[in-house]
Amino acid sequence: MDVLSEVLRAVRLTGAIFFDLEQRAPWASHTPTGAAIATNVMPGAEHVIMFHAVTDGGLWAEVTDGSIPPLRVEAGDILVVPNADAHVLSSSPGMRVPADVSQYYRPTDRQLPFLVGPRDGEGERTHIICGYLGCDVRPFNPVLHGLPRLLHSRAAENSGTISQLFRLAADETAMARSGGELVLSKIAELMFVDVVRRYMQSLPPDSSGWLSGLRDPHVGASLALLHGRPGEGWTVETLARDVGLSRSAFAERFSHFVQETPIHYLARWRMQLAARLLEQHGLGIAQIAAEVGYDSDAAFNRAFKKCTGITPGAWRQNRLVTNGGIREVAQS
């Protein structure tokens, strides 16, 4: 079981690249929160992950609340903003401009990506490809919880895969060929996955978090079991036995890395799977409950409401399946 791939499929990671920016110093660009622009840039996405790939020049990146020191991002680097924080890109640190939500939309009268620039100053040129990835955050998305607010992948540390994706993205952007939008959306997904994998590999051995847990031999093996057979009646004892640890050692190790108990984690993951099944036509509540490991509708209903705040039936009513995608039709 490739747990990372399984989770990204379950939370419906979908990529798109919308903006091809050329700026000349001095310049600054204020990106609002993902919640403010999600409906415009990725209709139907519950959450928007932002990323910026710098192909020429360089820039400074800062979250607008000032809680993180400015980051210098050079050509060949990728900056990911996993939790869609408002942030500023600029030619010099500390620059601020008002956010303009109206700039963020998906053009319907031209082929993407949407070219912006050159504008502002006449100094050093910076070229950026800005993209978005949509995903679900409810009921449970463990990947987002394990990432920093600004995830910086440096060119000097990039693998050959990233370099190849960079070149392909630049070629597709420049040539504007038929099918280019689909190619770019897949490149966005591949870039994100590769950046997350390399971030996971860079974590210190004693670090905590879900991504660190994937890398740990015992916790990673237990996560593979839980994700591979989520409907099974797992206990801490059976998981510990299957990964070769005592019950107490396993429970302590799992909680250190994943920061919750194995059974609580399993319950939340089951709800994520159930939420996806509820959005499929023809599946009854009883069938879904059994699929994710519940013996009765009542127990499943209680668990789902505890996790999401609403019943499975209400969740289903609040979603509409259209052309293979999900669109919110009512507030939960």
Ordered by where they begin, the domains of the chain are 3-202 (2.60.120.10), 211-328 (1.10.10.60)
Q: Is the pLDDT of residue 273 over 60?
A: yes
User: Residue 206's pLDDT band (boundaries 50, 70, 90)?
Assistant: confident
Q: Is the pLDDT of residue 329 over 60?
A: no
Q: Is the pLDDT of residue 205 over 50?
A: yes
In this predicted structure, what is the pLDDT of residue 214?
95
329 vs 272, more confident: 272
User: Residue 332's pLDDT band (boundaries 50, 70, 90)?
Assistant: very low
- Chain-wide mean pLDDT for the chain? 86
The pLDDT of 281-310, averaged and rounded, is 93
Nearest to 307 by CA among 284, 282, 332: 332
Rounded Cα gap, residues 277 and 281, in angstroms: 9
The pLDDT of 90-108, averaged and rounded, is 82
Q: Cα separations (Å) of 99 from 29, 60, 91, 149, 176?
A: 8, 17, 17, 19, 29
Q: Is the pLDDT of residue 330 over 50?
A: no
pTM of structure: 0.83
